[in-house]
Amino acid sequence: MRIAQLTYSTRPRGGVVHTLAVAEALAAAGHQVDVWSLARGGDSTFFRPVDPRVGLRLVPLPEIEGEEVGTRIVRSIQRLAEAFDPSGYDIVHAQDCISANAVPRCIRTIHHLDNFTTPELAACHERAIVRPYAHICVSAAVATEVADGWGLRAEVIPNGVDSDRFAQAATDHQGRRDWADQLGTYVLAVGGIEPRKGTTDLIEAMAGLQRDRPDVDLVIAGGETLFDYRDYRQQVFHRADELGVRMTVLGTVANDRLPALVAQAAVFAFPSIKEGFGLAAMEAMAAGTPVVMRDLPVLREIYTGAAAFANTRSGIADALLAAINAPPTGQLADARTLAARYSWQDSAAAHLRFYNRVTDLQRG
């Protein structure tokens, strides 16, 4: 089968991690797979090495200083649309709203649903749901949202996780020691500073935690995005200063150093208010790090029994403190078992079954 997988960035975000992992598993199964992506700011490749069996089709997107978000989204769609050639592919699979707007008839994976106020973004989001001829969601909770909101049936195909890579980080003594020397004892959040990640609530929770454990700092990693969250980031920094919360913002962490960072964390904080699956949390579980997450239906669906759940800021603080003071041994074992159940090979096999089914329906 000849498959085009499309994503909006070469940089580390959950949807990009998903795109590359599924593409590599499909290629390993003997299929011809190309990954098409916008390459911003002179990027010449993805954030990590990609299996050479996967074709890479990178579309340059020069950055324009001062460009507004809506204009950038429109330009991104236009640039990818101009470059993409659908001929020769049996399957065109868009992984986000930008690529789903840029290509003709396609399958779309809806990782999660957003509520945009910028007109261009709201229109992009809507078209990327209603125009594709078939839909995939990475959890039943998101598939239900799609059914309730648009009357569309989506196939549920969960993410995989590179559980061995993160499990091995637990015994990477030098890598963990390097992070401990640099950061001390820390609560880790991955995904950057943005409203969807619930960073403000995490800052408030850390203020309570640090009163009891002044030796524990907050570390935030990641955050590559096309969107402009500068105002929100400034609000977060201001609130952290007001509360005296000590935190380190690492930005993008090199791919080979990320597992040790996750494994060394005293606890992994995941207070997102919107998620589709929570891949970063699953990676933390594979590494043997206790996870505290917001009590969302999608996260309950996947992580019940393997994580601590909390909704209020004080509840998050209490759960973080409990995990640091007495890591739940049984829960950690269950978490590792859970992570080992999700593989990219299984995800790719489910994708292939779905591709064949929708292809047969179109032929019929």
Write out the DSSP string of 66-135: T--HHHHHHHHHHHHHHH---TT-SEEEE-SHHHHHHSSS-EEEE-------SHHHHHHHHHHHHSSSEE
Position 164 scores a pLDDT of 97
Q: Calculate the dihedral angle through the C-alpha atoms of 30, 286, 296, 254, rounding to the nearest 10 degrees.
A: -80
In CATH, which of 3.30.70.100, 1.10.3720.10, 3.40.50.300, 3.40.50.2000 is domain 163-341? 3.40.50.2000
> CA dist 325 to 210, 212, 334, Å?
13, 10, 19
pLDDT at residue 364 tops 70: no
Q: Does pLDDT of 344 surpass 70? A: yes
Residue 359 confidence (pLDDT): 87
d(CA 265, CA 351): 34
Give the E-state strand segments of 76-133 in sequence order.
Answer: 91-94, 107-110
Please name the residue that has the structure tokens 């340059």.
Answer: 60
Residue 189, pLDDT > 80, answer yes
Distance, in Å, from the CA atom of 142 to the CA atom of 113, rounded to the nearest integer, reads 7
C-alpha angle with apex 34: 28 to 36, nearest 5 degrees? 140
Could you report the per-residue pLDDT of 198-228, keeping only the tens digit for each? 999 999 999 999 999 999 999 999 977 766 7
Are 344 and 25 contacting, i.e. CB atoms less than 8 angstroms apart? yes
> Looking at residues 295-301, what average pLDDT do you find?
96
**Can you count the helices (H) and strands (E) in the chain?**
15, 13
Q: pLDDT value at position 42?
A: 86
Locate CATH 3.40.50.2000 in the chain: 2-160+343-358, 163-341
Task: Estimate the crossing angle of helix 344-363 against helix 14-28, to 10 degrees.
Answer: 80
**Residue that is written with structure tokens 């598993």 in the block:** 25
Can you give the pLDDT at residue 226? 66
Residue at 30: amino acid letter: G
Burial string for 130-159 (b: 16+ CB within 10 Å, else e) reads eebebbbbbbebbbbbbeeeeebebbebbb
Tokens of 1: 């089968």
In degrees, to the nearest 5, what angle opens at C-alpha 119 toward C-alphas 117 and 120? 120
CA dist 222 and 251 (Å) reads 5
DSSP category for residue 293: E
Predicted local distance difference test score (pLDDT) of residue 66:
86
Q: What is the pLDDT of residue 70?
A: 86
**Per residue in 128-172, pLDDT tens?**
999 999 999 999 999 999 999 999 999 999 999 999 999 999 999
pLDDT over threshold 80, residue 361: no
Residue 120: per-residue pLDDT? 79
pTM: 0.94
* 193 three-state secondary structure: coil
Residue 69 has pLDDT above 90, yes or no: no
Nearest-angstrom CA–CA distance, 239 and 241: 5
- Structure confidence at residue 60 (pLDDT): 96
Report CA dihedral (272, 277, 278, 280) to the nearest 10 degrees.
-150
pLDDT at 362 over 80: no
Report the candidate in 204, 193, 175 with the shortest Cα–Cα distance to residue 252: 193
CATH of 2-160+343-358, one of 3.10.105.10, 3.30.2040.10, 3.40.50.1970, 3.40.50.2000: 3.40.50.2000
Q: What are 14-54's pLDDT values in tens digits?
A: 999 999 999 999 999 999 999 999 998 889 999 999 999 99
Q: Shortest CA distance to 135 belongs to which of 163, 160, 111?
A: 111
β-bridge partners, 108: 94, 135
Read off the tokens for 223: 């955050």
Residues in the chain: 364
Burial pattern 46-84, b for ≥16 Cβ within 10 A else e, equals: bbeebeeebebebbebeeeeeeeebebbbebbebbeeeb
CB-CB neighbours of 326 under 10 Å:
9
